[in-house]
Amino acid sequence: MKRRTFIARSLITASIAAAFALPLSAAAATALKFSHTDQPGGARHMAAELFGKKVAEYTQGRYEVKVYPAGQLANDPKAIEQLQLGGIDFTVSSTGSYATHVATLNLTMLPFIVENYDQGWKFYDESKWLQAQFAKAPEKGFRFLATWEAGFRNLTTKDPAPSPDAVKGKKLRSFPNEMMRWTLEAMGFTVQIMPLPEVYLAIQQGAVAGQENPIDTIFSNKFYEVAPNVTLTNHVYSPIPLTVSEKTWQKLSPADQAAVTRAAKEAGEWSRKEIRGNDERQLKEMAAKGAKVARPDIGPWRNAAGGAYAKAKEKYGADVDAILADAEAVRKAVK
């Protein structure tokens, strides 16, 4: 009788322990918010989800990354502000988006400084000038973890854009970046700043004549449906560095900082391969759905964009010389 009572009590105790085990385990995972403006089907979102899985794995489940796509939490400038405040933990955005807080990063949007992915990767990984600019970020409230890929920026317009002469005065959407505005204005466009989630409808309603973005962003947001002329100018190399809130970073143990950094770099390597491997496939899919893909003579576009260099030199002085020297060294080393 005593034995049966002991067994019964043991079973009850085990049941109670089991009942509380899952909630306690779940509560142990700290949730981290990852905000971005790409669509769920885009490479940016897939890289974010991969990053989240790796963070959970490398921290043994201590952290859970929750990904919020399509500007659910904030557009790109607001997401960076939220990083500073600690309202979100991670975001990815064009390097130029961070220039509001580290002004010299505007210069990463200089037109035609690299010509292919291998050059772009070497520049972002090895440029001493660029690493020095990234190092200024923690005092601004965020920290660069790894460079994720988005690709080279291209045009999608309602009407064909064979040359700068064909686009004079046309209104083109871009993101809030001084260097990008100078470049597009030098090409002949009138620039309209607008959050990414609003662009499709704005083109459809005729508020703008088109927009410019990397191929994966054009594809995932289906901009080719409303602006079917896809012109491959490759005017700016535009990766999307992953950043973390400095408030969040300082709460992590050294081991978890290392784990998050490892996850960020591995997801970044995946995104580089994914974007480069997808460009031609996505162009073919867009063409099959009615897009008209043009590969123009780049010379006139390069010449027209040159006006942006003079404005950059006037404002940023020696920093322009420094970034151009690093870019030239990369172009010589990598063909």
The residues with which 193 forms a beta bridge, in sequence order, are 174
Residue 100 token pair: 């509001």
Q: How far apart are CA 204 and CA 198, in angstroms?
A: 10
Predicted confidence at residue 24, as pLDDT, reads: 38
User: Which helix (H) or strand (E) covers residue 171, if one does?
Assistant: strand 171-174
- pLDDT at position 28: 79
Domains of the chain, start order: 2-333 (3.40.190.170)
Model pLDDT, residue 104? 98
Show the DSSP H helices in the chain as ranges. 2-28, 43-58, 76-85, 117-126, 128-134, 178-187, 199-204, 215-220, 246-251, 254-288, 298-305, 307-316, 318-333
pLDDT averaged over 10-residue windows placed end to end, the chain, 335 residues: 45 44 58 96 95 98 97 96 98 97 97 98 98 98 98 98 97 96 97 95 98 96 98 98 98 98 98 97 98 97 96 97 98 96
User: What's the whole-model pTM score?
Assistant: 0.89
The pLDDT value given to residue 5: 46
The predicted structure's pLDDT at residue 27: 54
Q: By three-state DSSP, how is residue 31 classified? A: strand
Contact 124, 115 (CB under 8 A): no
> What is the SS3 assignment for 35?
strand
